[in-house]
Structure 1
Amino acid sequence: MAQFDDYVVVAAIDLGTTFSSWACSFRHEYKKNPKDIKAIICRAWNSGENISEKASTAILVKEDGQTLDSFGYDAENKYAQFAEDEAEELHTWYYFWRFKMLLYNRKISSKMTLESVNGKVLPALKVFALAIGYLKNDLLEEVGTKMVDIIEAGRIRWVLTVPAIWDESAKQFMREAAVEAGIPNDQLTLALEPEVASLYCNTIPVEITVGGDVLPFHGGTKYIIIDAGGGTIDITVHEVIGDGTLNEICRPNGGNWGGTAVDKAFEIFMRELVGSSVYDEFKKTDLDDYLSMLRDFERKKRNTEPDKNQTVTMRLPQSLNKLFNENAHANLSGSIQVKGVKATSDKLRLDPDIMKGFFKVALEELGEHLKSLFGDGSLDGIDTILLVGGFSESKMLQTYVKNMLPNKRFIVPSEAGLAVLKGAVLFGHNPSAIGHRICRFTYGVKTSVTFVTGKHREDKRKKVGNEDLCVDIFDIHVHKGQSVKLNEKQAPIQYKPQKREQNTIGFELYSSTDCIPVYVTDDGCRKLGKITVNVLGQTKDDNTVEVSLMFGGTEIQVEARDKKTGKSTNTKIDFIDKNEL
């Protein structure tokens, strides 16, 4: 296998909550001009109505649960056609749509499953692997004529994007899915979405949406990045260093307030309008009309602006009207009692305030978070905010944030929806572009120490042989808020196996929201995963192991050094629970 630095092409995959795509560029073109964004090859997708810069995140899997039939708009249209034709495949195949948020803010298990639209279930890892595999194969097919020898030699550096606010288990899950999809583990790196979007903005001239000025990214420039995607909004703060690298000066934060939160509000509205039973039946029996309605809403959502006061007219599926009539024994047009809402046999008309109201929850959640972020004074003096990601193109979002922070300078770069994808390609060429990161949590391992009366809690005392030990100690390796450098090892901490005959030492890695936790059972502590370190030395008198954790990359790494022999080994942290569902 080629060395990681012996690559010819960087290939980036952005599997988003709502939309996905890939991009790539050749190393020789990047080295010739690192700022030539036009050298990045991006996939264009046919949505059936126009050419789109991204495809819908949807996959259609055949009855065997192993074979991917189609992806994106093709999958949407084919499954909708099954519904219209009442085909057998509607019930025997698997259709998954907008499934990425399954990994947000939850415990990840290897046995986790995903339920398809028709209620059938597949392993979640399989679903993600099929989606990533499609994007990988599509990329290789599109540019394959130039890459035959490169592919055979394994000289591709793959980059897979993930939200910065995801935990380590979700990152590991994405890596395992990519490996199952056929991407070699040693050719793959994960990229944090707001970071690479920042790198994109740092690389090209960025124009302000009002005024057309250009922001120079010189040494000392500090700015906030709000990456507003379909599922999450990730926020971080960067400073440009003199050598052009970026330092993170605020730990990543955010929440699930992306564009799908607006879609969710619309669906709640429709459910209340026609009744839960009618709406559920509509989704189940008239999938083609349901998907068509959501696409229509997506177009209206993109065009909604705070200063526009025109009535919004959407197509009202006749199948929904018919279902309402059958259940309520009345026409929908004559039954609506909601102010600002009117219906005809085939149209739904909404007053502008109704349409704008669908944004309310998402924007207010973001607003409250921004208030708390600016409230402690740590961001004083930073007056520039970059808005990137597909949802950042919404005038509703732009205006809300600008009104909330009127003294800030706002920038929405050209191709804001592609900032993450193109930035991931740039990151693949230059992974050291992010020099320092800020730890989101305090990290350490669970260990035991000699019990000291008066210092340790009595309920933590445990007799091991002839010694009283204090168990559940949180042995800190790095503190919350600490700045960590890329690939910089933290100070090693020594550990010894409890029994001399042990040839491995097992550790449990924990995180804490507290800066200085004492016990792993304290509030705010969470078990992240397991570390197994080989005891390399064979002597019985000294089998001490020095463990160093590295936090500066997008994934936590571990190095263990046998004190007796001086030999070092890298080991893997397993963040995914292998037992729980």
Structure 2
Amino acid sequence: MASRTPRKSNQAMLGHKIIVGIDYGTTFTGASYVSTTGSDIKDDIVIGTWPGPSRDSETVFKAPSRIAYPLDNPLNRTIRWGFQVEPGMTTYSWTKLLLDRNTALGEFDDPTLEGASKTGILQLPCGKSAVGVVGDFLKEVRTHVLKMIEKQITKEVLGITPIEYWFTVPAIWSDQAKAQTKTATQRAGFAYNIERPNDQIFMVTEPEAAAIAALNKTATDGLGASFKPGDGVLVCDCGGGTVDITTYLINKVEPLLAFEELCTGIGGKCGSTAIDRNLYRLMSRRFGKAFDMLPAKKKGPGSEFMRKFEIVKKDFGFNIEEDKIYELPLNIRAGKVKSEYFDDEERLVLLSSNDIRQLFDPVVDQVIGLVRKQMDDAEDAESGIINRIILVGGFGDSEYLREKMEKAFFGITITVPDNPQTAIVKGAALRGLWGLQVTTKRCRRHYGFKWSIPFRQRIDREKNAHIDEFTRKKMVGGIMKWMISKGEKYTENHTHTVDYTQVYHSGSSMIIKFVLFSSDSNEAPERVEHTSIKKVGTISVDITDIDFNLFEKKLIDGVLSYQAKFSVKVIFGAQDGVLKFETTSQGKVVGKTTIDFTNTKYY
């Protein structure tokens, strides 16, 4: 035994690492891990044991993304999470969606999302933020993941082996939501941890992770469904809260698979939880206040009512019978409700096949609409032909969705990998193991700053004109300086720099601020007032250490003023998944650059 430990220690010192992929989803969370000594997708181990009495079998690859606090459940002395949460407990679910509630609902977002908080579903504990609740949940996940890895390699070896955590995030998410996700992971102890100072956090988008797993597996299976260079593959990640679509062009298959984004990806907040919200609306119409006034623990995620509905959702699509009746247990005072809707003796809600179809169809139609738009975008860009669709994610396993997709896109091969729920979490770990596989990505929106330029006669309006207080030239403000355009290709750690001039008056604050804007419009707007332009956040730069004597100076209204010149660099595609900034002046990095995101709640 003694001779084996030094070998492991030496291995750790020689750069041996463990890569952990974590897919924190709206409804379920999964994790997988792989050692840097592994080289194949088969070496990627998906954790199949999660604690708690409410799981249906011994092997489950994901745990419910829900948490119950002792304050709300006096019989519990500690936090309960995942399968530890039992029916009847007051729980918090779908919290992931609250990380991106500052983004206005888009064309393909579920319209019922806005009113979901009124039903008691999208709620937060008193005094806690969404970041705090997600952090508490992920802290429990981290403890369990480390325990599972420790069983495989011993506590001693784990203690000296650094871990890279690769978290998946929806590609459609705002930059603020990605930053909040990272903050939650840090609060959970995944990085900056005194006990494990060498652990790191990275991020990968969910469709990219799914593509890495699905494309590599298919390319190496030899089952007749492998890809070839030039193929266009649309990955449709249908999760609980979001649907993310990205299309890839296969560049090469051997010796390693490499692919690039074919066109700008799209998505929407229209995952399988939208079907749940449709169910709540149907129940409200049929049972009124008898249903509406029920506490969340009786009708929300984790309740017996919703656990049974989850089974119905998974089964729907196999041998659909027009006269089949589905039964959901719910103890309510139904009053004078038609017997076709409720079995008063057995306390069962009764739903027909047509009822279930009407719950599914609006959501399925949104998914099909997203896929069709992505295919149109690829055709308009003359980027290539999409000849394969891969469905992944929990909702991607729906037989009803697959059948509807095949009818909508006749002639295109539609495949679903084995256990599509784990494709994303496996791909996240493989992303860390193999390094970059998506050679180039497409920017999902325009990013830039507003600035002033010399006034243009017959083009600019006088109301937008002003006299520059330093140069005394006539200028026009509110003009956008776009750093990177929507659809523009970029690689990892791609940078764009913009030169910025600002008048600094002696005695003013040593913090200079720049506002970063974005636009989802296909054509980049020229002026900041355009309806598509959104404020991403305010970048603050500490200029305390700048030598202002090196700038041009003059007296303005009796105050010594300087024409300060800066270069603001924005880093896109950083491995940790969030926007990074750097400001330079006089040939050196200036102070610390941070961003405060705009805070406007939409649901």
TM-score normalised per structure 1: 0.83
Amino acid at match of 2:578: E
Distance (Å, rounded) in 1 between the aligned partners of 2:532 and 2:434: 35
Tell me which residue corresponds to 2:578: 555
Residue 370 (structure 2) pairs with residue 369 (structure 1):
yes
Tell me which residue corresponds to 2:41: 36
Tell me which residue corresponds to 1:518: 526
Amino acid at match of 1:70: R
Distance change in 2, residues 1:290/1:439 (3 Å): closer
Residue 206 (structure 2) pairs with residue 193 (structure 1):
yes
Aligned CA RMSD, in angstroms, stands at 3.4
> 1:478-489 maps to which residues of 2 (within 5 A)?
478-489=484-495
Distance (Å, rounded) in 1 between the aligned partners of 2:15 and 2:41: 22
Distance (Å, rounded) in 2 between the aligned partners of 1:435 and 1:546: 28
Tell me which residue corresponds to 2:304: 292
Residue 538 (structure 2) pairs with residue 530 (structure 1):
yes
Distance (Å, rounded) in 1 between the aligned partners of 2:99 and 2:297: 28
> 1:112-191 maps to which residues of 2 (within 5 A)?
120-121=125-126, 122-144=128-150, 146=153, 148=155, 152=159, 155-184=162-191, 187-191=200-204
> 1:113-512 maps to which residues of 2 (within 5 A)?
120-121=125-126, 122-144=128-150, 146=153, 148=155, 152=159, 155-184=162-191, 187-205=200-218, 213-242=223-252, 244-275=257-288, 277-283=289-295, 286=298, 291-305=303-317, 307-309=319-321, 311-317=323-329, 319-320=331-332, 323-324=333-334, 328=335, 330=336, 332=337, 335-336=338-339, 341=341, 343=343, 345-346=345-346, 347-375=348-376, 377-378=379-380, 381-465=385-469, 467=472, 468-490=474-496, 492-499=497-504, 501=506, 504-512=511-519
- Match of 1:446, SS? strand
Distance (Å, rounded) in 1 between the aligned partners of 2:596 and 2:235: 31
Contact kept, 8 Å, 2:20 with 2:166, in 1: the verdict is: yes
Q: Deviations over 1:507-556 (max 9, x none)?
A: 11100133332222212000001223355642523453222322234432
Contact kept, 8 Å, 1:206 with 1:413, in 2: the verdict is: no
Contact kept, 8 Å, 1:10 with 1:428, in 2: the verdict is: yes
Amino acid at match of 1:293: F
Tell me which residue corresponds to 2:22: 13
Distance (Å, rounded) in 1 between the aligned partners of 2:25 and 2:297: 27
Q: Deviations over 1:82-109 (max 9, x none)?
A: 5xxxxxxxxxxx620222122345259x
Contact kept, 8 Å, 1:206 with 1:214, in 2: the verdict is: no
Tell me which residue corresponds to 2:110: none
Amino acid at match of 1:525: I
Distance (Å, rounded) in 2 between the aligned partners of 1:252 and 1:552: 15
Contact kept, 8 Å, 2:330 with 2:349, in 1: the verdict is: no
Amino acid at match of 2:503: Q
Distance (Å, rounded) in 2 between the aligned partners of 1:223 and 1:436: 15
Q: What is the Cα deviation at residue 400 of structure 1?
A: 0.7
Q: What is the Cα deviation at residue 38 of structure 1?
A: 4.1
Contact kept, 8 Å, 1:206 with 1:414, in 2: the verdict is: no
- Which shows bigger deviation, 363-372 or 403-412? 363-372
Distance (Å, rounded) in 2 between the aligned partners of 1:561 and 1:482: 25
Contact kept, 8 Å, 2:69 with 2:78, in 1: the verdict is: yes
Amino acid at match of 2:214: C
Unaligned runs of 5+ in 1: 83-93, 109-113
Distance (Å, rounded) in 2 between the aligned partners of 1:9 and 1:102: 31
Distance (Å, rounded) in 1 between the aligned partners of 2:146 and 2:241: 27
TM-score normalised per structure 2: 0.80
Distance change in 2, residues 1:494/1:151 (3 Å): farther
- Which shows bigger deviation, 50-59 or 569-578? 569-578
Residue 34 (structure 2) pairs with residue 25 (structure 1):
yes
The share of aligned pairs that are identical, in percent, is 22
